[in-house]
Amino acid sequence: MLMPAEYFDKAFWGREVAEAIETSDPVLSNRRITLVHYKLSQVLQAVTGTDAGANFHTWAVWGSRKAGVTIRQEDLGEALRNAMIVAGIVGFIVGLSVSWISISLWLTGLHWSIVPLSALVGMCCGALVGRWIAIYSRREAARLILEGNRIVLEDIGKQTARFIALFHDKNEEDTKSLDTFLAELRTGETASGGQDLLRQAFTQYYIARYAKDLKQKHEAAYFANCLAVLHEHIRLEPYIKKSMPFIIRKCATKRLMQFDVGTVSLRVSEEVPALDGVPFPDSLHDLSGQELSNFLNGWGGDLAVSPARDWTNIRERMRYIVQLFRVMHLERSVFSEPYTMMQSETPMPFATELSRQ
């Protein structure tokens, strides 16, 4: 696919990223962020190799698209139903228990008939409180998720732009250019403001760029994706926790954390399904890289148990994500456009440009 020269220009991406994250309208900002990820995915794939498989931005498209569901409050109805049912049941039990215990202990002169009435009042009050909590938490979640959405694009998107600009026209390995690229990334752990995980991720993209062997290319690209997404999730940890109040975390994980990757529908509370009965692509079935294997053992844990019960638990998130990335690394759906023209009320310059090429 031929691409305009500006797509390999760092300054061009600086403007695109800035416009997307600085757009004041939350819905439009999210859509622009999703589309910038979509195009960065294609350009990074052109650099690492069209046969390299998915990259971080390929996956970020679907994460950003899912974020848009909450930003647009499309999951509010489901959240209201779940919250009102759960809180109503709790209120019913509390009302029933308190009135029954009070009468049993002769603390009041009330008749036994007050017990079901108290339970009913408790259920109604609980449901109303649940409704209020759901509305507040979803609005707060929308704000936090958009903020996280912007952080990810600014943090990683700009580094991808530098990598693309530096290596797109270098057909042979250039370790000095790699050292130059890595030197601008901060040393240290992500939690302390460092970018060591990104240093490792882009080193793997560099390996994928020049790999002669397809298995090495796939492993390097997959490893880079895992490292980049870990960096992202460490940075977003406080946003994720605040967007899911403690009392609803498991319920929200089970009922609200569902998303699409192209035509494939997924739930984080369920195991990542094998595609056509094949657990992994052949090139990622038996891993040859010891560093990658160690990473998966440390963060993926038991990859046979991929469902997440609590999405605020970073180990459960990573266990699901590294499995998803591995299973669908070469799946065509991952590379699909995030929106059709009819789904979006906003201009889609990237999709339009692609259709003309």
Q: What is the pLDDT of residues 115-137, one digit of tens each?
A: 455 555 555 555 555 555 555 56
| Cβ-count burial 105-118 (b if 16+ within 10 Å, e if not) | eeeeeeeeeebeeb
| 341 — pLDDT class (breaks 50, 70, 90) | very low
In one letter, which amino acid is 58? T
Least confident of 29-33, 169-173, 192-196, 258-262: 258-262
pLDDT at res. 88: 45
User: Residue 211: how many CB atoms within 10 A of its CB?
Assistant: 18
With both helix axes pointing from N to C terminus, report the angle between 26-48 and 114-152 in degrees, rounded to the nearest 10. Answer: 50
With both helix axes pointing from N to C terminus, report the angle between 26-48 and 10-22 in degrees, rounded to the nearest 10. Answer: 160
Kindly list the distances between the CA atom of residue 82 and the CA atoms of 175, 255, 298, in Å, as whole numbers in the listed order. Answer: 54, 8, 34
Q: 76-117: per-residue pLDDT in tens?
A: 455 545 555 554 455 444 444 555 455 454 545 555 555 455
- Read off the pLDDT of each residue in 240-252 and give the average, rounded to a whole number: 76
Least confident of 23-27, 83-87, 160-164, 222-226: 83-87
The pLDDT of residue 253 is above 90: no
Kindly list the distances between the CA atom of residue 305 and the CA atoms of 111, 234, 254, in Å, as whole numbers in the listed order. Answer: 52, 22, 15
pLDDT at res. 100: 47
Q: How far is the C-alpha of 281 from the C-alpha of 284, rounded, in Å?
A: 5
CB 350 within 8 A of CB 39: yes
Least confident of 62-76, 147-161, 164-178: 62-76
Work out the end-to-end distance of the chain between its first and last CA atoms, rounded to an integer number of angstroms: 7
Q: How far is the C-alpha of 17 from the C-alpha of 80, rounded, in Å?
A: 34
Q: Which residues pair with 261 in a beta bridge?
A: 264
Among candidates 240, 238, 257, which has minimal Cα distance to 79? 257
- Read off the pLDDT of each residue in 189-214 and give the average, rounded to a whole number: 97
pLDDT at res. 357: 33
Read off the pTM.
0.81
Q: How far is the C-alpha of 301 from the C-alpha of 130, rounded, in Å?
A: 35
In one letter, which amino acid is 106? W
What are the extents of the domains in the chain? Answer: 5-340
pLDDT at res. 348: 43
Least confident of 95-99, 322-326, 349-353: 349-353
User: Residue 265: how many CB atoms within 10 A of its CB?
Assistant: 10
pLDDT at res. 304: 55
pLDDT cut 90: percent of the chain above it:
55
Q: How far is the C-alpha of 351 from the C-alpha of 357, rounded, in Å?
A: 10
Q: Which residues pair with 296 in a beta bridge?
A: none
- Read off the pLDDT of each residue in 332-354 and give the average, rounded to a whole number: 61
Least confident of 187-196, 240-249, 261-270, 339-348: 339-348
| 242 — pLDDT class (breaks 50, 70, 90) | confident
Among candidates 201, 187, 268, 186, which has minimal Cα distance to 231? 201
- Pure H helices in the chain: 10-22, 26-48, 56-71, 76-104, 114-152, 158-167, 175-183, 196-210, 214-243, 249-255, 290-295, 314-327, 349-356
pLDDT at res. 297: 86
17: which residues sit within 8 A by CB, 6+ positions away? 36, 153, 154, 157, 158, 161
